[in-house]
Structure 1
Amino acid sequence: MKKNYSTFCCYIISFFVLFFNGALGYGQQVSPFKQGDRVVFLGNSITDGGHYHSYIWLYYMTRFPKMDVMFLNAGIGGDKASDMVKRLDGDVFSKRPTVLVGTFGMNDSGYFEYNGPDADKFADEKVKESFDAFKQMEARFKGLAGTRIVLVGSSPYDETAQIEGNVPFKNKNKAMLRIVDFQKQSATVNKWEFFDFNTSMTALNKQFQQQEPSFTLCGSDRIHPDNDGHMVMAYLFLKAQGWGGKKVAGMTVDAESKRATKVENCQLSNIKKTATGISFDYLAEALPYPMDTVARGWGSKKSQFMATKVIPFINEMNQELLVVNGLQGVHELLIDGEKVGNWSAEEYAKGINLATLDKTPQYQQALRIMYLNEERWEIERRFRDYAWIQYNFFQPKGLLDANNRKSIEILDQHKEKDGWLNAKRDLYSKAMFPEVRQAWQGEMDLLLDIIKDTSTPKKRKITLVKSN
């Protein structure tokens, strides 16, 4: 079993070396976020109800605990570029972005008509409609002073997965790629940044479908990535920001000489050789990245952790490496007195990746941040459902932000004919009151304060005890 797993891991790593030197390219790099950034993610349902931006933020929360950076969701389910233009002022620019990450194309390109007559004509019309709407968006973006623009090609519509009961819309993704192309051209002309999820994720889908024809990163509907797909998106984005190969921390200790021969992003002190092994104090500048093993979000079936079967995130971005030379035999590892595991001298010399061990105190500390961030995400989703009602239902009726008795009476007149509207009616009945929205915002602010307090790495006592 171990041999098969090792072979699989080697295959994955080899594939990604080729993949990122080829499909992704070097011209799509995105500058890292910095102190004080307010990063707004504008998009459709994939942004609205998805986790990719939350997973990216979790990386910054754990890797840069002293950095103040804010991520804000500005996705609305069902949106096309033409819908986004109508809410730029009230829902996007009002969030005061220093970085605006914009993506669209899934809804712009249409759906069922691809399997009907005149599919090519339909595609041409949809792409033109999207382009015309984007030109309005582009003009507004140009007027934003002090805001960095990052245009992002949409995650793909997966036409190649073999999904029972789901006939794909032929060549829909080709139309989406035409939308990606004009986004890229705009970024080049305007000296904005650009990144393409579509090409990268399509390549991954096709690669893994060779072994498992039903494999997809795009969800059972071919459109909405599950948590594993969103983690892949987060990884690809972080990779484009240049974080590949950056360790959480790294330490090499020589047990005989009682000294640290190499340290990365951490400090070691008080190194002592004991009768049964060695001990030292360890203070890292970052925490390991915790991977959720639970499927979260409406309709989700896969967890964030399942993405590790597809991407080398752990090898590339989640290494907290402990190397100890000069040992003999098997030693038990304890951190702050907590038993973590037993490894041989040869294994310690090769290195133990502490970031994969959920028993360590630092992983448990990071896990708290993950759960707090998930709570924040859940509350933010309420605001996105509220925005969906405001911009999809009330705005066309001239009732945007009315939030009065008339607005809810109008809603009740239409809810039985619109399942989505009906599902969000109860939430709107609360969110229409500013005090409720203020309370929700207060909860999120409190969670972020707790995350900031929780994310500061602590000095740990590492002890190796020789096992009998």
Structure 2
Amino acid sequence: MPRWQILLNQIKPTFKMLVIKKLKEKLTLRVCAVMVLLVSFTAIAKAQTVAPFKNGDRVAFVGNSITDGGHYHSYIWLYYMTRFPDMRVTFFNAGIGGDIAKQIARRFDDDVLNRNPTVVTVTWGMNDTGYMEWFADNAQETFRKRLDTSIKYYHIIEEKLKRLPNVKKVLVASSPYDETTTSAPNNLYKGKSAALLQIAEFQEAAAKKNQWGFIDLNRPMTAINKQGQATDPAFSLTPNDRIHPDNDGHMVMAYLILKAQGLANNSVANVQIEAGSQKVVKAENAVVNKLSRTTNDITFNYLAKALPYPLDTVVRGWGNHRRQADALKVIPFIKEFNQEVLAVKGLASGKYSLQIDGQAIGNWSADDLAKGINLAEQTNTPQYQQALQVMALNEERWEIERRFRNHAFIEFNVLFDRGLYNADNAVAMDTVNAVAKREIFVAGNKSTYLTSQYKSVRQAWQMEMDLLLAQIYKLNKPVVRQVNLTRL
């Protein structure tokens, strides 16, 4: 045997063992990531129970740019609009970009409590943990000082809320700063993610002490990031700058909050029909009547008491690149929150065509129909199309509300401390122009203020939002649908 072949035979087992070792390591990482995710979701289900919103609630979502420019509260409202069509709730975006606890405390009376909320959710921490300070050698010491200051002003917010016994309070731990993704530029703020976790732990303890609600977005979203990065190092729910969630990240936030409210497994509708006996065996959150059958057809009237949740397939918001629907890759939202089940048992074997209000929806086998199909996944049903219209109107409302938040940024970051809050005059505009020359974020919001400085314009915006909401709560009412199953 040639010497090279002898050497090759000696190397092969070693190489094989090395490959096996690497594969085991990689598999272990993936399994660990999945286990972390499962443990996190289990913790949510068991430990984070806050009351769902009720009819008439006025909910203020208080926070920084993640709340200000984000969609999570809008996605939650869309859930309530479609799942509880007869329940009227009102949400307020009370976030301002760049805010720390001190700034939230300063504007709390004028920007939050003046809206007469019945529920207040408060999140802070992303900006409180600092940015450029993490370059310094004394970063941890600086963070501790910043944290002491933020806790001081948090207690001011806390005292304001304590004086309102009829207002429900929920503290929300911030979405994470992702230090490990490769999708964004170099990780500039090493240590910031751990600092955010310290704030989350403080918030959890504060909520427990006051017997307030608490929702942790930090640890579950971190677990999802780690799970994704086990196979794709560039994966992140905050892919653009490690800080701000994209639309899919905001949908994950909405999912976590709805889950914390105990709303999982609350079906759109669940209908089961026995074809042989022509009986409605189950009609959960639905009314089914006028059931009839011929040799090849089954027809009945169907009224679901909710609409399916429509998932947006359009990229929304400045700087975003993902869609709300992309969140389905990492959360079981359809399984837990969007089930509109139709099951028909006892059909003769073969394929059946489903029509709703005369519109062809799809073809399924008798076996598939016996198991049940999820109509909420069929985007061409009349009820899903109805829900899409609600979503479109809600997005229009969100766009207008964003203008109000841009206006609030100017009011509280430029005019408030200068005695020009709500001045709506030439002096205020001149001040904004002057500050915008040296502060980039003021310059970015100035274009909105050129219009919003006029009270009449803001009043018109509010009337437009009120009109959109009136239309939403008119359009979101389910209607009776005629369902036909025809054997092909």
Q: Map 1:125-274 onto structure 2 (within 5 A).
A: 125-163=145-183, 165-274=185-294
Distance in 1 between residues matched to 2:40 and 2:382, nearest whole Å: 34
Any idea what SS the aligned residue of 2:437 has?
Answer: helix
Q: Map 1:50-449 onto structure 2 (within 5 A).
A: 50-163=70-183, 165-327=185-347, 328-449=349-470
Deviation at 1:137, TM superposition (A): 1.2
Deviation at 1:88, TM superposition (A): 0.7
Distance in 2 between residues matched to 1:269 and 1:241, nearest whole Å: 33
Deviation at 1:244, TM superposition (A): 1.1
Any idea what SS the aligned residue of 2:399 has?
Answer: helix
Equivalenced residue count is: 455
**Is residue 459 of structure 1 aligned with residue 486 of structure 2?**
no
* TM-score normalised by length of structure 2: 0.91
Deviation at 1:25, TM superposition (A): 5.5
Q: Which residue of 2 is the match for residue 5 of structure 1?
A: none
Q: 1:229 to 1:21 in 2, by over 3 A?
A: closer
Deviation at 1:426, TM superposition (A): 2.8
Distance in 2 between residues matched to 1:126 and 1:16, nearest whole Å: 30
Match for 1:343: what amino acid? W
Q: Deviations over 1:68-121 (max 9, x none)?
A: 110110000000000001101110101111000000000000012223311221
Any idea what SS the aligned residue of 1:36 has?
Answer: coil
Distance in 1 between residues matched to 2:398 and 2:59, nearest whole Å: 15
Any idea what SS the aligned residue of 2:303 has?
Answer: strand
Deviation at 1:49, TM superposition (A): 0.4
Match for 1:143: what amino acid? R
Decide whether the 8 Å contact of 2:41 with 2:220 is kept in 1.
no
Deviation at 1:414, TM superposition (A): 2.4
Larger Rg computed on CA atoms: 2
Distance in 2 between residues matched to 1:145 and 1:260, nearest whole Å: 47
Stretch deviating more after TM superposition (234-243 or 109-118): 109-118
Distance in 2 between residues matched to 1:266 and 1:417, nearest whole Å: 59
Deviation at 1:312, TM superposition (A): 0.2
Match for 2:71: what amino acid? H
Decide whether the 8 Å contact of 2:183 with 2:236 is kept in 1.
no
Distance in 1 between residues matched to 2:452 and 2:143, nearest whole Å: 38
Q: Deviations over 1:417-439 (max 9, x none)?
A: 22322232232122111111110
Q: 1:21 to 1:431 in 2, by over 3 A?
A: closer
Any idea what SS the aligned residue of 1:247 has?
Answer: coil
Match for 1:118: what amino acid? N
* Unpaired runs of at least 5, structure 2: 1-30
Decide whether the 8 Å contact of 2:238 with 2:244 is kept in 1.
yes
Q: Deviations over 1:141-180 (max 9, x none)?
A: 1112411110111111111112353324111111111111
Q: Which residue of 1 is the match for residue 14 of structure 2?
A: none
Stretch deviating more after TM superposition (165-174 or 339-348): 165-174
* Unpaired runs of at least 5, structure 1: 1-10
Distance in 2 between residues matched to 1:447 and 1:230, nearest whole Å: 23
Deviation at 1:15, TM superposition (A): 6.3
Match for 2:44: what amino acid? L
Q: 1:25 to 1:169 in 2, by over 3 A?
A: farther
Any idea what SS the aligned residue of 1:462 has?
Answer: strand
